[in-house]
Amino acid sequence: MTSVPGMAEWAPLLKHRGPDATSPVMDDYRRAAAGFSWDAVGAELGVVPGGALNIAGAALDRPAAATPGKLALRFVDGAFATQDFTFDELRRAANRFANALTQLESGPGATVTTLLGRCPELFFTAFGALKCGAVFSPLFSAFGPEPIRSRLELSGSSVLVTTARFYARKVAPIRAQLPSLRHVFVVRDDVTAPLPPGTLDFAAVMGSMPDEFNTAPTLPDDDALLHFTSGTTGKPKGVVHAHRAVIAHYATAKLALDLHADDIYWCTADPGWVTGVSYGMIAPLACGVTTLVDREELDVERWYTLLEQQRVSVWYTAPTALRMLMKAGLEPVRAHRYPSLRFIASVGEPLNPEAVMWGMEAFGRPVHDTWWQTETGAIMIANFAAEPVYPGSMGLSFPGVEVALALRRPDGTVELLTEPDRIGEIVLRPGWPSMFKTYLHNEQRYLESFAGGWYFSGDQAKRDARGYYWFIGRTDDIIKSAGHLISPFEVECALNQHPAVMQSAVIGIPDPVVSQVVKAIVELKPGIDASPELRRDLIAHGRRLLGAAIAPRDIDFTPALPRTRSGKIMRRLLRARTLGLPEGDLSTLESGT
Ligand code: 6R9
């Protein structure tokens, strides 16, 4: 195992709570974990054994019955104008769309896709589709026509909801190739412009529909959600989730994001990403919490203004966003006050210790890393509100989820690693409610994700003696050099500490002697020019911090590292580009990277 200088140096951030502080929903992790039962969580949502369960019933009808007049969603537009919906207003709007789908015979068995930003119609569509027993499938609105086409083809979607602008640019050119796509609803930005031929006006149809609807009594195992994975490896896969997932969304939002009934919650994720649906839509509503929805994209000054003005108390964001904020320095963040902000969490890619500590500097709160995947549907590993945070660690396993580290041998047998500090693949014991049901039209690939009664995540980690998990890398990102297992993340962390480095990506280059050598591709801070001197300096810096065995041997500079739309560095693509191999599926690549 590689030990990384620097990583162990971070002292744990212990939680000291004043007498007037909000007490965490889960104040004792070990006690909660020992007494945890998914059935008990289900019962809180009104699930009875053998009974029906519908995500929209649990996440919308239930809170709307309990607190109809409470603010459910507040949308903020580019000019900071707000648009509010109470729980009951949202329920009624979703009912209208459910009635529209039912009239179009697009209820049970149909898949309803959105190509939308964070707008009210996104929520009406999602919950309307779920209410009538259809499957909801969101796409990244930043996708171009080809990835939209391939996903709609794979899902066999019969209904699409999009904006007039996206329709003209991205859907009209491919529509003829999608025979299953029967109905396209268009949200019109400009009502004076003619409605594109062959489409339905979203607002007009909604206006003509009754606002009561009996939510379909779907069963917990019935299909509800279809997500396409972020595509950091291989081709996009359609990940299917059932209505039972809402039990995990609800439990994790309470225990891992520490959502309290009076919180104002902001999730910055794109709705095309699993985080945007599980935690941007379903989980906070299921908890009866008020959600802030920013219709715009990241902007440093805007984000600080929103955190302050909207009195956000729980904020769920991602490492890339945090690093962009960090890059702007402390001055902009200190120009505002955040007395309401209580809990900050992150997901999606490795969260470097500096980002955790930056949370302390900027907000007086650590950033709580969480780990999960599209396939797991909900948070599986987290830094909890009442537990110490070890900067750089993803945290502890979620109560009710059995997490282990394992080696999968070529003969199919599985070795569980029980001693601390060994590196293995993160495996999860099936049985948590938001475990995916299958990869759409690829049951074989689904079955291959399991061995010895465990789901294999494809991520490598180590666990320390306290039970905290530390991310090492994707199984296919991990570098083996001269017998050392090397985490690209660890090497990147070291390089990123160099004052000239904005961010870096580390890959393994095949080598006949040492199996692989470590290579780094570095994006420099604005205003710093690449030079042979700087390259030498960085190599020396790497050696100094990491030791010669794992420091990068070679460094290239790039103006921008390739990233997926959800912010993950595409090491697979860097490796392919460096080695002159086919680039594979690039549909999730952020343009310009
Ligand atoms: C929710 C989501 C899943 C993959 C996962 C891992 C990476 C997620 C992470 C993390 C390091 C974390 N990942 N959280 N890596 N630290 N806290 O991200 O889903 O888009 O399917 O990605 O993202 O590699 O396997 P998805």
User: In terms of residue numbers, what domain contains 426?
Assistant: 29-463
pLDDT tens digit sequence for 374-398: 999 999 999 999 999 999 999 999 9
- Best residue for ligand 1 mutational test, from 273, 568, 588, 590 (most atoms within 8 Å of Cβ): 568
Please indicate, yes or no, if residue 299 is contained in any of the structural domains: yes
Express as a percent the part of the chain with pLDDT over 90: 76
Question: Model-level pTM?
Answer: 0.86
Is residue 437 domain-shared with residue 545, that is, in the same domain? no
Is residue 374 domain-shared with residue 459, that is, in the same domain? yes
For residue 444, the surrounding DSSP H or E stretch is helix 443-448
Among 432, 425, 435, residue whose Cα is nearest residue 461: 425
The segment with the largest mean pLDDT, out of 4-8, 68-72, 193-197, 234-238, is 68-72
Please indicate, yes or no, if residue 144 is contained in any of the structural domains: yes
pLDDT confidence bin for 421, thresholds 50/70/90: very high
Ligand 1 touching residue 316 (CB < 6 A): no
Query: Rounded CA gap, 353 and 489, in Å?
Result: 11
pLDDT confidence bin for 230, thresholds 50/70/90: very low
Query: Rounded CA gap, 54 and 120, in Å?
Result: 21
Is residue 229 domain-shared with residue 110, that is, in the same domain? yes
Among 4, 87, 13, residue whose Cα is nearest residue 291: 87
Please indicate, yes or no, if residue 394 is contained in any of the structural domains: yes
pLDDT confidence bin for 284, thresholds 50/70/90: very high
Please indicate, yes or no, if residue 593 is contained in any of the structural domains: no
DSSP state of 57: I
Ligand 1 touching residue 348 (CB < 6 A): yes
Ligand 1 touching residue 357 (CB < 6 A): no
Question: Is the four-CA dihedral 38, 44, 45, 51 of positive or negative sign?
Answer: positive
3-class SS of residue 336:
coil
Among 268, 235, 232, 281, residue whose Cα is nearest residue 128: 281
What's the whole-number mean pLDDT along residues 225-238? 69
- Of 284-288, 305-309, 464-468, 578-582, the range with the lowest mean pLDDT is 578-582
Is residue 285 domain-shared with residue 347, that is, in the same domain? yes
Among 508, 514, 501, residue whose Cα is nearest residue 486: 508
The pLDDT of residue 15: 78
Is residue 456 domain-shared with residue 489, that is, in the same domain? no
What's the whole-number mean pLDDT along residues 556-568? 88
DSSP state of 290: E
Query: Rounded CA gap, 472 and 573, in Å?
Result: 19
Query: Rounded CA gap, 454 and 406, in Å?
Result: 9
For 545, phi then psi, to 5°, come to: -80, -35
Is residue 307 domain-shared with residue 339, that is, in the same domain? yes
Ligand 1 touching residue 166 (CB < 6 A): no
Give the Å distance between the CA of 102 and the centre of ligand 1: 36
> For position 551, which CATH number holds?
3.30.300.30
Q: How many domains does the chain have?
A: 2
Give the Å distance between the CA of 298 and the centre of ligand 1: 20
Looking at 463, 497, 513, which one is the last position of a domain? 463
Please indicate, yes or no, if residue 88 is contained in any of the structural domains: yes
Query: Rounded CA gap, 248 and 380, in Å?
Result: 10
Say if residue 476's pLDDT is above 70: no
The pLDDT of residue 59: 98
Give the Å distance between the CA of 308 and the centre of ligand 1: 28
Give the Å distance between the CA of 140 and the centre of ligand 1: 17
- Of 202-206, 271-275, 365-369, 483-487, the range with the lowest mean pLDDT is 483-487
Judging by DSSP bridges, how do beta strands 423-428 and 454-463 pair with one another?
A: antiparallel
Query: Rounded CA gap, 333 and 191, in Å?
Result: 39
Report which of residues 151 and 31 the model is more confident about.
31
Is residue 69 domain-shared with residue 189, that is, in the same domain? yes
Residue nearest to atom 11 of ligand 1 (CA): 350
Say if residue 289's pLDDT is above 50: yes
pLDDT confidence bin for 332, thresholds 50/70/90: very high
Looking at 430, 463, 496, which one is the last position of a domain? 463
Query: Rounded CA gap, 340 and 537, in Å?
Result: 43
Please indicate, yes or no, if residue 2 is contained in any of the structural domains: no
Is residue 135 domain-shared with residue 192, that is, in the same domain? yes
The pLDDT of residue 590: 77
The pLDDT of residue 483: 54
Mean pLDDT across the chain, nearest whole number?
91
The pLDDT of residue 480: 61
The pLDDT of residue 491: 84
- Report the atom number in ligand 1 closest to the C-alpha of 458: 25
Residue nearest to atom 8 of ligand 1 (CA): 348
Query: Rounded CA gap, 431 and 424, in Å?
Result: 21
Give the Å distance between the CA of 230 and the centre of ligand 1: 9
The pLDDT of residue 4: 44
Please indicate, yes or no, if residue 491 is contained in any of the structural domains: yes
Please indicate, yes or no, if residue 224 is contained in any of the structural domains: yes
What's the whole-number mean pLDDT along residues 87-113? 97
Among 410, 438, 405, 424, residue whose Cα is nearest residue 229: 438
The pLDDT of residue 3: 41
Say if residue 234's pLDDT is above 60: no
469 CB neighbour count, 10 Å cutoff: 23
The pLDDT of residue 231: 40
Q: Are 294 and 118 in contact (CB under 8 A)?
A: yes
Is residue 298 domain-shared with residue 435, that is, in the same domain? yes
For residue 480, the surrounding DSSP H or E stretch is strand 479-481
- Best residue for ligand 1 mutational test, from 225, 237, 347, 368 (most atoms within 8 Å of Cβ): 347
Say if residue 139's pLDDT is above 50: yes
Say if residue 548's pLDDT is above 70: yes
> For position 239, which CATH number holds?
3.40.50.12780
Is residue 515 domain-shared with residue 443, that is, in the same domain? no
What's the whole-number mean pLDDT along residues 195-209? 97
Give the Å distance between the CA of 450 and the centre of ligand 1: 18
The pLDDT of residue 358: 95
The pLDDT of residue 103: 97
For 343, phi then psi, to 5°, come to: -145, 125
Residue nearest to atom 15 of ligand 1 (CA): 349
What's the whole-number mean pLDDT along residues 176-182? 97
Report which of residues 324 and 470 the model is more confident about.
470
Query: Rounded CA gap, 215 and 133, in Å?
Result: 8
- Report the atom number in ligand 1 closest to the C-alpha of 275: 1
Q: Are 266 and 298 in contact (CB under 8 A)?
A: no
Ligand 1 touching residue 372 (CB < 6 A): yes
Is residue 244 domain-shared with residue 335, that is, in the same domain? yes
The pLDDT of residue 232: 39
- Report the atom number in ligand 1 closest to the C-alpha of 372: 1
* Sheet with 290-294, edge to edge strand ranges: 82-86, 71-76, 290-294, 264-267, 314-317, 343-346, 367-371, 381-382, 396-397
Query: Rounded CA gap, 94 and 86, in Å?
Result: 12
Helix axes 532-546, 488-496, angle to 10 degrees: 120
Query: Rounded CA gap, 145 and 326, in Å?
Result: 34
Q: Are 528 and 235 in contact (CB under 8 A)?
A: no
Among 219, 203, 275, 191, residue whose Cα is nearest residue 53: 219
pLDDT tens digit sequence for 482-507: 655 567 887 888 899 899 999 999 99
Report which of residues 587 and 469 the model is more confident about.
469
Ligand 1 touching residue 230 (CB < 6 A): yes
Give the Å distance between the CA of 587 and the centre of ligand 1: 18
Is residue 275 domain-shared with residue 211, that is, in the same domain? yes
Report which of residues 563 and 286 the model is more confident about.
286
Ligand 1 touching residue 274 (CB < 6 A): yes
Looking at 463, 492, 509, which one is the last position of a domain? 463
